[in-house]
């Protein structure tokens, strides 16, 4: 009798160990799954999206320029003055602006292009010029421009100058 009970509890212990191991195995399937995806190359991290729009054979120089209107005593400059890009390539550059006065001011940047006809091929995805910028006294801002030069840029354009000018935005008569 005692012997039989002994045998039963031995089997019980073994089966409980199997149960615990299988519970752990469930969690082990997580790294296992990630590894299999990695090895077989179906991992989503590995999928490199190539830019089929880019024209790697052609280079275009971009000059970045910054000015302020005469009523706006702000300091305004590009952090990158010059860049060489392929048409179709996505790029981001940063501009820095500082309000050197002791009052809060609102400004709006207006872009212009040289040559002017390049403007319609210069596609800005994100730009600080899309919105008004409000700067407190002495405040400094680093602001992005994200752009793509389009593939159908005329062949004779090799350099584009992007020039921004900040103007003071007179408070809109919101009353």
Partner 1 sequence: MEATHAQDHGHGHPTGLMRWITTTNHKDIGTLYLWFAFIMLLAGGCLALLIRAELFQPGMQVVTPEFFNQLTTLHGLIMVFGAIMPAMVGFANWQVPMMIGAPDMAFPRMNNWSFWLLPVAAIMLVSSFFVPGGASAGGWTMYPPLFLQGGISNDMTIFAVHILGISSIMGAINIVTTILNMRAPGMTMMKMPLFVWTWLITAYLLIAVMPVLAGTVTMLLTDRHFGTNFFNAAGGGDPVMFQHIFWFFGHPEVYIMILPAFGIVSQVIPAFARKPLFGYASMVYATGSIAILSFIVWAHHMFTTGMPTSAQLFFMYATMLIAVPTGVKVFNWVATMWRGSMTFETPMLFAIGFVCLFTIGGFTGLVLAITPVDIQLQDTYYVVAHFHYVLVSGSLYAIFAGVYFWLPKWTGRMYDEKLGKLHFWLSTIFFNILFFPMHFLGLAGMPRRIPDYALQFADFNALATIGAFGFGLSQLILLVVVLKCIKSGAKAADHTWEGADSLEWTHLSSPPPYHSFVTPPVVK
Whether 134 and 106 have beta carbons less than 8 Å apart is answered as yes
Contact status: 170 vs partner 1 (CB under 8 A): no
With CB under 8 A as the contact rule, the residue among 35, 39, 42, 158 that binds partner 1 is 42
159-168 and 105-114 beta bridge pairing: antiparallel
Whether 81 and 62 have beta carbons less than 8 Å apart is answered as no
Contact status: 25 vs partner 1 (CB under 8 A): yes
Nearer to partner 1, 12 or 142 (CB): 12
Nearer to partner 1, 36 or 142 (CB): 36
Contact status: 81 vs partner 1 (CB under 8 A): no
Number of residues engaging partner 1 in binding (CB under 8 A):
25
Helix, strand, coil tally for the chain in percent (to 5): 30, 40, 35
The H or E element that residue 19 is part of is helix 2-39
Contact status: 38 vs partner 1 (CB under 8 A): no
Contact status: 4 vs partner 1 (CB under 8 A): yes
Rounded Cα distance between 111 and 166, Å, is: 9
Question: What is the contact surface with partner 1 in residues (CB under 8 A)?
Answer: 1-2, 4-5, 7-8, 11-12, 15-16, 18-20, 22-27, 29-30, 33, 40, 42, 44
């Amino acid at each position: 009798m005692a012997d039989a009970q002994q045998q039963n509890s031995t089997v019980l212990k073994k089966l409980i160990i199997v149960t615990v191991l299988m519970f752990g195995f469930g969690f082990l399937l997580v790294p296992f799954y990630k590894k299999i995806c990695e090895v077989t190359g179906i991992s989503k991290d590995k999928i490199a999206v190539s830019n089929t729009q880019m024209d790697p054979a052609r280079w275009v120089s971009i000059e970045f320029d910054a000015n302020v209107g005469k009523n706006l005593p702000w300091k305004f400059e590009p952090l990158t003055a010059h860049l060489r890009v392929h048409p179709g390539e996505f790029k981001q550059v940063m501009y820095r602006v500082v309000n050197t006065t002791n009052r809060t001011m609102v400004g709006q940047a207006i872009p212009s292009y040289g040559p002017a006809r390049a403007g319609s091929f210069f596609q800005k995805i994100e730009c600080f010029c899309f919105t008004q910028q409000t700067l407190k006294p002495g405040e400094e801002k680093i602001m992005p421009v994200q752009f793509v030069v389009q593939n159908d840029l005329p062949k004779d354009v090799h350099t584009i100058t992007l020039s921004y000018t900040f103007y003071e935005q007179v408070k809109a008569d919101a009353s």
